[in-house]
């Protein structure tokens, strides 16, 4: 069963334009994210899914220069874009990591994949149906067959824009499971995603402190954020 991890990104971010390739400590945000994803022990293939728009050509070029697969598709129909990306790379099991989560802990990805594979009977396993991890640690694992079924069933363009949302909204049609953070990782009060300039400042400080650790863990991030009170930098940012 081939496990393919897709991250859907584009340059046209309304709150932080161009954030996908904005440089932090000498590397673009996408580069930091891909470094984290490459540390997963259970992912067989990484694919960056971006749009056909001319402004997203630099994303394709960056992927080419760094030997990462890139799929280009619909701008607004993200469900179509990611489904085609999985099918183009022969995926049986799909993993979604969001482009605003460059601090994603690879062990959380591996846990999600392990849970999905061990359960055997679920269409979807994720940690974002109920928020218990810090924002930016979202991971979803699902059957590509179930994703194809959601593509066929979903006719609402607003829902299709959010990729897997149709599956998440329909436990009557899909067997879904949410796993929760435990112990010190249960910190839904922390915002470790990068969606605004304030978030970028938090990320920059974490990277500069932990850059010598190849795959720094979520608990190391939390310890550093808490010790330096970094949550004050972005705690008042309005969230969607």
**Nearest-angstrom CA–CA distance, 182 and 179:** 10
**What pLDDT, on a 0 to 100 scale, did the predictor assign at position 150?**
98
Element (H, E) at 49: strand 45-51
How many CA atoms within 13 Å lie on the side-chain side of 53?
A: 14
Render the burial of 39-65: b for 16+ CB within 10 Å, e for the rest: bbebbbbbbbbbbeeeebebbbebbee
What is the Cα gyration radius of the chain? 17
pTM for the predicted model, two decimal places: 0.96
Backbone angles phi, psi at 125, to 5 degrees: -130, 125
Task: Give 47-82 pLDDT, tens digit per residue.
Answer: 999 999 999 999 999 999 999 999 999 999 999 999
DSSP 203-215: HHHHHHHHTTSTT
> Which residues are bridge partners to 51 per DSSP?
73
**What pLDDT, on a 0 to 100 scale, did the predictor assign at position 104?**
96
**Nearest-angstrom CA–CA distance, 218 and 231:** 15
Task: Give 88-101 pLDDT, tens digit per residue.
Answer: 999 999 999 999 99
Backbone angles phi, psi at 130, to 5 degrees: -130, 130
Residue with tokens 């992927």: 63
Q: How confident is the model at residue 210 (pLDDT cuts 50, 70, 90)?
A: confident
Task: Give 167-194 pLDDT, tens digit per residue.
Answer: 999 999 999 999 999 999 999 999 999 9
Q: How confident is the model at residue 213 (pLDDT cuts 50, 70, 90)?
A: low
Q: How confident is the model at residue 215 (pLDDT cuts 50, 70, 90)?
A: confident
Model confidence at 212: pLDDT above 70: no
């Amino acid at each position: 069963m081939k496990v393919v991890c897709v991250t859907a990104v584009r340059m046209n971010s309304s709150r932080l334009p161009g954030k996908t390739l904005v440089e932090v400590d000498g590397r673009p945000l996408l580069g930091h994210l891909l470094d984290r994803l490459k540390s997963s022990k259970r992912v067989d293939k990484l694919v960056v899914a971006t749009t056909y728009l001319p402004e997203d050509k630099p994303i394709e070029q960056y992927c080419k220069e760094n030997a990462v697969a890139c799929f280009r598709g619909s701008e607004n129909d993200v469900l179509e874009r990611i489904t085609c990306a999985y099918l183009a790379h022969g995926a049986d099991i799909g993993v979604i990591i969001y482009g605003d989560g460059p601090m994603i802990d690879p062990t959380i990805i591996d846990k999600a994949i392990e849970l999905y594979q061990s359960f055997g009977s679920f269409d979807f396993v994720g940690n974002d149906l109920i928020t218990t991890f810090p924002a930016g640690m979202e991971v979803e694992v699902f059957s590509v067959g179930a994703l194809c079924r959601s593509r066929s069933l979903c006719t609402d363009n607003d829902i299709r824009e959010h990729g897997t949302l149709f599956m998440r909204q329909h436990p009557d049609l899909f067997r879904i499971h949410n796993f929760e953070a435990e112990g010190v990782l249960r910190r839904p009060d922390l915002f470790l995603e990068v969606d605004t300039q304030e978030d970028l400042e938090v990320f920059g400080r974490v990277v500069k402190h932990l850059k010598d650790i190849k795959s720094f863990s979520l608990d190391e991030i939390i310890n550093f954020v808490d010790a330096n009170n970094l949550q004050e930098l972005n705690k008042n940012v309005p969230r969607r």
